[in-house]
Structures are given as structure tokens and as C-alpha cells.
Amino acid sequence: MDAYKKKKTHVPFRLNILFVVVFLLFTTLILRLGVVQIVHGDSFKAEAERTENITAKLDAPRGKMFDRYGRVVVDNEPVFSITFTRTNNTTKEEIYEIATKLSKFIEIDTDTLTERDRKDFYLSYKVDAAEMYEKLLTEKEMEELNNKEEYRLVIERLKVAEINLTKEEEEIAAIWREMIRGYALTPQRIKVGATQKEIAIISENLDEFNGTIDIKPDAQRTYPYGETMQSIFGKVGQIPRELIDGYVLEGRDRNDLVGTSFLEEQYESVLRGTKTKINYVTDKAGNPVGKPEENVGSRGYDLVLTVDMELQRRVEAIVEEQILEARRKYAANNQLKSSYVVMMNPKTGEIYSMVGKQLEDGKFKDVPFGNVYNQYPMGSTVKAATVLTGYQTGVIDPGTVLYDTPLKLPGTKIKKSYKNMGYVSDIEALQQSSNVYMFRIAMMIAGYDYNEKRGFKNPAKAYETMRYYFNQFGLGVPTGIDLPYEDDGYNGGVQALGNLMDMGIGQFDTYTPMQMVQYISTIANGGYRMQPHFMKEIRNPSARSENPGESIMTHEPKILNRVDMKEEWIERVQKGLWMVMNTKDGTASSYFKNTDGYIAAGKTGTAQYDGDSYILTLVGYAPYDNPEVAFAVVSPYAEEGGINNKIGREILDAYFEIKKEGHREDILNQPNEGKGTDQKEQIQN
């Protein structure tokens, strides 16, 4: 009994201890929860909702371009850009509202708005999209097509005439187009090079944009030599819509600034810099949390070009002066409005100068790209290729004499030279520019017996043979120039015998000025077709703004092919080209006599073009015994006056005068230090 009582009183005591412990634990837990929720609630809540790290990227300044003697030809100017940064939650309506506000503060170029841009904007904001879909799509199309396919059809069928945007709406559309290009949290340039007035106004009104609009330091391309070769240097801009997918596959961002034409595009991988990276932490709603971390990028590599800007400017002035003089002196030249010139090292392919001038409304427009895009019948300048083709096919030998007299083929007009020359040899045919000699070569290649008036049984083979050998000189095939695009001329196909004969005098297939300078260079250097190129070196960016850094890659001359012709045959043709410019009966001798310190060789040409008009052409090189510069001159609608020969003489004079003066400050050939080989491999990869 006593033991039972003693045991009974012991149990409640243990329970009391347990209750106390539980009470204390619950009290501690409640206090802890209170601290978490009340004291640190906001910070822990934000920490719990941090779910994503996002990296935004900003383009770094691009590499500069220098001419062959270290003169800066493309530079970067510090400017300020107006940028837009949207969050993951920014709505379509908010973007329109921001664009509308911003249009009141900045001036934006609307000339670049495309038809597609206007249609996109119109469907997004200016019309009921559902009604437009019902109007432009059939019920079957709306049932079977996905959203992307439906939109494409609506865009195609929407007529431009239906889109009536006011000037203000076009400005909003131009801003809107830039705003929607990029990704969320990535600053998107709306305007590069904002004026001081625009910067001041936007700075005063930043609160209206809730942090979406900002003003950031940036860089803009500048051209110390003005318009000189500016179009060949190329442009920089947003990735074109049609190329976005390809760039994204390469790892680029949709809002990147890239080279969009010519050298900027060709050497995009060299000139682009290392981007500045901004690392954001965002919450579940996609809003930034905390201060972002920034890793500053670096400028791109510098590009040293083969061009001599002093020579380039001299040649441009010569071309402009000769066009104006020809138009003043010769009434028949009223249609003469343009001329093209290329000067190149025939042994290396380095382009020294590339000029294109076009007269519009009394002012000259710089169009050097015409040398790679425009193709013409080049006339007698191709006759050296015809003679060499004759040697190679065995229809003539060095020294073969043929009779120059008018030829009459069934169903064609009389084919003749500008005068009856009688018996002429191969080099005399070049010297005096005999058409008939070349006609006879073409007929013999075609297997045509002129006396019997029969043959030409396999026209396709005859044309193929002629073009095969012409192609070896670069006529009718891509030159390989380091530009994104080039025209490779026009192939007239297989036609009548008379057209084959015309091909032999440059009156059938057409070629570009760049192909012509490659062709004459191949003859000048002994038969090696060299790749023309603008890139001379790639250099590290330099801390000194006026000088390039260390050289990390040098362009090595590239031989595209060696012509299938004996060296002595090429030397024989070279002699004929020398006779053109240095003997009494040479067609260009009156222009190239009494040269100062050099002897030139070359070939003149006149081609019928566009009905009754003519093209005057000239190809050549100097010095004759050790060529260091080759050139091509092409002047469309130049009826008379020898503009081709005048330009040819003056540009050679300019080249050798500049060489003789020797006052260029070559700042490129300085001792270099550093790990150039490693960086070269990095660029190539």
C-alpha cells in the first residue's frame, strides 16, 4: 500500500517535468518564428524567391582600321546612347507607351523603317488584329495553320496602301522596332550618338520611364578621311532580321551590333570586342534583386589594310577631273557619269587603291563597290587572254602570221578591225588591236573552216574551251577578294559562232573591274593568279589611339592557280603589251611615252555597250621588267577622248611620284613584343 502510493506520486512529477520541457521548446519555437517573420521576414522572403541568375551583355568598342602606313581610317568616337531595358513582365502596351513618350524627347531616323517594320507596327497597335486575320485568312487556313504561319500570311497579304502612319506614328514605330529587338534585362540601343539636348531632356524625365530608359556611354564609328572608301569599310548596325537565326546559332545575342557590309562584315570576328557582362539576380517575378556585378570587356583587334590612302585620294581626284574634262570637251560624252579604277600589287594581290566615282546632280558620289559588283563587256583588253588561249590550244604558235581583212559569215554582219591591217603577227595583233586576228583564233578553236564556210560542229565544246582558259586568268570566275560578296560576271551561254568570235575581243561575256585587274596581274607576274585582298595585318588594340598595337597575324599572299601556259608564251604576250604602250603603232603609245622613271605595258579596249554606246577600258602594269603595280580602268558611256588612257597614265604617275617622294611615316614596322602566335591561333579558331 505504501509502495503503491509512493509510485503514484512519482509519475505526476515526471509529467510535470515533461510539460515544462515541451512548454519551453514551444516558447523557443514561437519566439524564433517571430524573429524570422517580424525581424527578418522581408529579407528571408526575398532570399527564398531568388531563383535565377541572368547575365546581360553590352558590346565593347570595335577594333580600328588603319591604312598600310598606319594612318587611322576607321576610328571610334565616344558618344552616349539612349537604351531601353525591359523586364520579363513588361507588357506590349507598356512598350508602346514608353515609345510614345520617348518620341517626344528624341529625334529618330524613320528612313530605315522597312515595309515589314511598318506592317508589324500596324498590326500590333493601329488595327484590330482579330478583324485583320478574319479579313486576310480563310477559315480553312485559320483551322490548319499555327500562329506563326498565320502571321506570315497576314504580313504577306497586308497591302502597304492600307497602312497610313502619320509622321509621329512613324517615329514611334522606329523607336518601338529597336525596343523589341533584344532580350529581357539586356539594354537595347534606341539611339546611338544622342545630342546634348536629348541627354538633358531625358535626364530630367527619367522618372517617367520607371527605370526602363537609361543613358549609357558608347562608341560610334568615325572616318577621318570622310567619304573616301567609307562604303568599302562597311557599316555597323543591328543584326539584320534575316540573319538573326544564324548569328544566334554562333552564340551571338539578338541585340548585338555587327558589321553589316563589306570589310566590317567580312572581318566581324576580328573587329568585334569582348563584351561587358552584367550579372543580375532576379526574383520569381523576373525583377532584379540587389546590385548587379559588372565585368568590363575590351576593344576588338585592329585591322591594317593594304590601301594607301594618299594614293587613294590622288586617284579619286584624277578620276573626277577626267570625267568632268571629257564631258566638257566631247559632246558625245554627255552620258559619261562614272569611272572605276583598281590598283593592285600583281605579285601579292594587295589592293593599293579602289576608286569608283559617279556623277549625280552635279556632285560626285563615292561608289568603289562598283569594281566588284558591276560587270561590263571589256573589249580588246581581253585579247592577251585570247592569244594565250590560241597558243595553248595549238591553233597558233608564237610568231604565227594571219591576214587581217573583213570577214563575212553567213547570216551575220561583216566582222572587221578598225582598219585593214593585212598580215600581222601575234604580238602585232596585240600592238595594233586586231579584231580579225582574234576572230580567226576563235574560229580555229571552234573547228570552223572560213574558206569552206563550214565546221563548228560542237559549239558547246568550243565555248567551254575558251572559257576554261579565260577562267584561269580570273575572267568569269570569283576573284576570291576578301569581301562578303562579289559579282563573277555574266556568262552568255552557248550561242552562234559569231558570238564566240566576239568573246575573243571582249564583246560577249562580261567581267568586273576587279576581275580585269586580276587578269592583267596574272600576265604581269608570269602566270600566277593571286587572290586580291584588303587585309594586310591584324594587330592588338593599342593604348595609344594613333598607333596600332603589336602584329599578331599577317596575310600571306595566296596563289589561286597557275595558268596552263608556258613561261615563254607569257613572255611573248608581255612583249606585245609593251608594244601597245611603247611603240609607234601601239594603241596607247601617245599617252605613255616620256614616262618619268618607269616603263609600262598594257592593253586598251573599246566595247559596244547598251545599244550604240561604248565603254573605254585599259589594263596595264609597271615597271615592265619588274611589275609592282597593276591596274584596270573602266569608263562606261565614254564615247571618245581617251579617258581610259588619260586616267591610266595619271594614276601610274601618281603611284611613282608618291614612291619617289618617300615621305610617308611608316609607323607599322616597329619592333613588336608579346605572344602573337597564341593570339593568331585564337583568332583563327
- The mean predicted confidence, pLDDT, of the chain is 89
pLDDT of residue 462: 98
| Cα dihedral sign, 254-259-260-266 | negative
Long-range Cβ contacts of 12-20 (<8 Å, 24+ apart): none
Q: Torsions phi, psi of 573, nearest 5?
A: -70, -40
Distances (CA, A) of 292 to 53, 287, 288, 372: 10, 12, 8, 48
- Residues in Cβ contact with 129 at an 8 Å cutoff, skipping those fewer than 6 apart: 123
Which of 8-22, 61-75, 458-472, 587-601 has the lowest average pLDDT?
8-22
User: Given the C-alpha cell 555574266, which residue does it identify?
Assistant: 490
Distance CA 655, CA 590 (A): 20
pLDDT of residue 1: 46
Whether the pLDDT of residue 18 is over 90: the answer is no
- H or E stretch covering 232: helix 230-233
Is the CB of residue 600 less than 8 Å from the CB of residue 615? Answer: no
Count CB atoms within 10 A of the CB of residue 435: 24
Which of 11-15, 171-175, 295-299, 463-467 has the lowest average pLDDT?
11-15
Highest mean pLDDT among 143-152, 210-219, 430-439, 606-615: 430-439
Distance CA 652, CA 344 (A): 12
Per-residue pLDDT tens over the stretch 38-79: 666 666 555 555 556 666 666 788 999 999 999 999 999 989
Burial of 541-551, coded b for 16+ CB within 10 Å and e otherwise, reads beeeeeebbbb
pLDDT of residue 37: 66
- Transcribe 536-599 into DSSP letters: EEEE---SSTTS---EEEEPPP-EEEE-SS-HHHHHHHHHHHHHHHHSTT-TTHHHHTT-SS--
Whether the pLDDT of residue 672 is over 50: the answer is no
CA 593 from centre of chain: 39
**Residue 143 grid cell:** 483551322
Distance CA 200, CA 72 (A): 32
Whether the pLDDT of residue 581 is over 90: the answer is yes
pLDDT of residue 44: 56
Of residues 608 and 572, more confidence is placed in 572
- H or E stretch covering 192: strand 188-192
Identify the band that residue 301 occupies on the pLDDT scale cut at 50, 70 and 90: very high
- Transcribe 63-109 into DSSP letters: PPEE-TTS-EEEEEEEEEEEEE---TT--HHHHHHHHHHHHTT----
Whether the pLDDT of residue 673 is over 50: the answer is no
DSSP 302: E
| Cα dihedral sign, 241-245-247-248 | positive
**Residue 287 grid cell:** 525583377
Cis ω on the peptide bond leading into residue 406 (within 30° of 0)?
no
Per-residue pLDDT tens over the stretch 635-670: 999 988 899 999 999 999 999 999 998 755 555 555
Identify the band that residue 283 occupies on the pLDDT scale cut at 50, 70 and 90: low
pLDDT of residue 646: 97
Identify the band that residue 332 occupies on the pLDDT scale cut at 50, 70 and 90: confident
DSSP 54: E
Whether the pLDDT of residue 570 is over 90: the answer is yes
Annotated active-site positions, please?
A: 380
- Average of pLDDT values for 507-533? 98
Per-residue pLDDT tens over the stretch 159-176: 988 898 999 999 999 999
Per-residue pLDDT tens over the stretch 415-451: 999 999 999 999 999 999 999 999 999 999 999 999 9
Distance CA 390, CA 458 (A): 18
Q: Tell me whether residue 127 is exposed, middle or buried, using C-beta atoms within 10 angstroms of its C-beta: 0 to 12, 13 to 18, 19 or more.
A: middle
pLDDT of residue 678: 45
pLDDT of residue 675: 39
Which of 428, 435, 492, 433 is closest to 466 using CA atoms?
492
- H or E stretch covering 61: none
pLDDT of residue 298: 82
- H or E stretch covering 606: strand 601-609
Distances (CA, A) of 685 to 270, 535, 679: 11, 18, 10
∠137-142-145 over CA atoms, to 5°? Answer: 110
Identify the band that residue 392 occupies on the pLDDT scale cut at 50, 70 and 90: very high
**Residue 396 grid cell:** 597558233
- Residues in Cβ contact with 93 at an 8 Å cutoff, skipping those fewer than 6 apart: none
Residue percentage of the chain with pLDDT more than 70: 88
Identify the band that residue 5 occupies on the pLDDT scale cut at 50, 70 and 90: very low
Distances (CA, A) of 607 to 41, 440, 487, 559: 87, 19, 19, 30
Per-residue pLDDT tens over the stretch 231-261: 999 999 878 878 888 887 887 777 788 999 9
* Strand ranges across the sheet with 293-295: 52-58, 276-282, 293-295
Distances (CA, A) of 390 to 430, 437, 438, 465, 655: 13, 10, 9, 10, 34
pLDDT of residue 518: 98
- Average of pLDDT values for 273-297? 70
3-state secondary structure of 225: coil
Q: Check residue 27 and give left, alpha or beta (phi > 0: left; psi -120 to 50: alpha).
A: alpha
- Average of pLDDT values for 565-579? 98
pLDDT of residue 56: 60
- Average of pLDDT values for 368-397? 98
Is the CB of residue 33 less than 8 Å from the CB of residue 269? Answer: no
pLDDT of residue 28: 79
Size (the chain), residues? 685
Is the CB of residue 379 less than 8 Å from the CB of residue 613? Answer: no
Domains of the chain (ranges; CATH) run 82-223 (1.10.10.1230), 311-661 (3.40.710.10)
pLDDT of residue 676: 43
Is the CB of residue 587 less than 8 Å from the CB of residue 577? Answer: no
DSSP 60: P
pLDDT of residue 424: 98
- H or E stretch covering 174: helix 167-179
Whether the pLDDT of residue 629 is over 80: the answer is yes
Of residues 29 and 9, more confidence is placed in 29
Distance CA 155, CA 120 (A): 8
